[in-house]
Amino acid sequence: MTMQNLVERGLPSSMPEHDESSELQEAQEAARYALLQRLAPALQHQLMGKFQSMGMIAAMMDRRFQSEHPDFSSIREDCKSLSSVSRATVDFIVNLMSWIEPKATDSLKLDAGIAECVGLLATKLRFKGFSLVNEVSGMEAEVSARALRSVLSAALIALADQPRPPATFVLRAVPVGDAVELSIEICPTEKPSKPAYASAYRALRRRDVEMLARAESVRLAFGISSVKMVFPCVASSAQLTG
């Protein structure tokens, strides 16, 4: 009995139908996983830096206590410092979890979000011979935190993963109606080439960035020497309650 006979009789076919939406979702999830694997070392480095600060203050307090004549005034100041650093660490961990398990409803100001991504990736990209210049300031438009973090971070990593001479990535942004256009301009530099930096996980490709942009409704365009991303603005909590 042929496949056509089975279909005509209403019997199930042993061959599943081609589901493009399912394939697209799988590609997007694969891109998210690949990006998280590449971001994990940088996130871990920042987290360890927070705990290192706490450890240094605790060690200083311990030395003061071991003194023959403890300076309790200094110890009280150390306690205040430790309390302040611990609160900052808790806030950082909460923010860190939003990178790992983002919520679709979370938003942030564009300039703050870009500064966050640049701060996270600057050292990592410098090891590969690339520097970041952030020229975005005073752009307080609210955008999706998940969209900005995933698409911008993936674009920067993907650009650095491509075989190219050392360059500076310059970030600029302009408002476009009810959206903002963020661009990454690739400016070659005269710096000597650095040895290739081998990542523990696979390179990010242009398709990964395209899949993430499509999942977050971000318009994306790769040029010869630039990448442009258009992020829709979202209503801030103040606007919603106003």
Between 217 and 74, where is the model more confident? 217
φ, ψ for residue 183, nearest 5 deg: -120, 150
> Three-state SS for 222?
strand
Domains along the sequence of the chain with CATH: 22-100 (1.20.120), 107-241 (3.30.565.10)
Size (the chain), residues: 242
SS3 content of the chain, % helix, strand, coil (to 5): 55, 20, 30
What is the tens place of the pLDDT at every residue in 58-77? 888 778 778 777 777 887 88
CA–CA separation, 239 vs 182, rounded Å?
23
Q: Which tops the pLDDT comparison, 96 or 109?
A: 109
Cα torsion through 8, 12, 17, 19, rounded to 10: 120
Whole-number pLDDT of residue 134? 97
Question: Would the CA dihedral through 109, 111, 116, 117 be positive or negative?
Answer: positive
The pTM score is 0.79
Greater confidence (16 vs 206) lies with 206
Distance CA 182, CA 220 (A): 10
- Supply the pLDDT for residue 75: 78
Q: How confident is the model at residue 85 (pLDDT cuts 50, 70, 90)?
A: confident
Q: Does the pLDDT of residue 239 top 60, yes or no? A: no
112, containing H or E segment: helix 110-126
Pairwise CA distance, residues 76 & 200, whole Å: 44
Model confidence pLDDT, tens digit, residues 35-54: 999 999 888 887 877 777 77
Give residue 214's pLDDT band: very low, low, confident or very high (50, 70, 90).
very high
Report how far residue 73's alpha carbon sits from residue 158's, in angstroms, rounded to the nearest whole number: 52
pLDDT given at position 70: 78
pLDDT for 87 beyond 90: no
* pLDDT tens by residue, 17-37: 556 789 999 999 999 999 999
**Cα–chain-centroid distance for residue 187?**
22
> Closest Cα to residue 185, out of 139, 146, 133?
133
Q: Retrieve residue 201's tokens.
A: 């996980």
How large is the average pLDDT for residues 190-206?
A: 73
User: What tens digit of pLDDT does each residue of 4-18 get?
Assistant: 453 344 444 444 555
Task: Look at 11 and 217; give whichever has higher pLDDT.
Answer: 217
Q: Is the pLDDT of residue 151 over 80?
A: yes
Pick from 173, 166, 153: nearest CA to 102: 153
